[in-house]
Structure 1
Amino acid sequence: MSAPIVVHPPQGSGGRRVTVHGQIVGLAHDDRDLLEFLRRAGLPDAESLLDDSTWVLWRGGRAHHYEAA
């Protein structure tokens, strides 16, 4: 089973698309944005999940890094 939350690679203009169970929930420019999207998706205590690979898959780029290379 793959992680239900995917933080996709940084886009050229900055920010990372975020999906939860395959559904796009927004474009995060920082961890605050990401946490807000997860709160809206029903995960109010998501802060502790951000570095848990069973919950969050950070694709392309470093975790918690939102600027394009």
Structure 2
Amino acid sequence: MASSTPVVIYPPDEDGGRRIRIDGTILGRAYSVKDVAAFAQEAGLHDWDEMDVVRTSLIEWRDGGPDVWTH
């Protein structure tokens, strides 16, 4: 079943990176909330910053929220 949220942050890998998918496309790995905001901005969410990333319901955080960056 596909996610209904346009942004999915996958669980941290061994290096502490989390894959980020926006609108069905994997854009890369984020290592912090700041990285997630940068990916969102590149994907067209130009007004997003770190606080938007933490507060929005548009992000599905898998196996931990925005404060989890270790495997």
Return the TM-score normalized by structure 2. 0.81
> RMSD of the TM alignment (CA)?
1.6
Shift of 1:2: 0.9
Deviation at 1:36, TM superposition (A): 0.6
Report deviation, 1:44. 1.3
1:12 aligns to what?
14
Q: Which amino acid aligns with 1:12?
A: E
In the superposition, the TM-score normalised over structure 1's length comes to: 0.82
1:10 is paired with a residue whose SS is coil
Per-residue deviation, 1:26: 1.4
Q: Runs of 5+ in structure 2 lacking a partner?
A: none
Aligned length: 67
Describe the superposition over 1:21-68 as per-residue Cα deviations: whole angstroms up to 9, x where unpaired.
110111000011111111000001223542222x10001123332111
Identity of aligned residues (%): 34
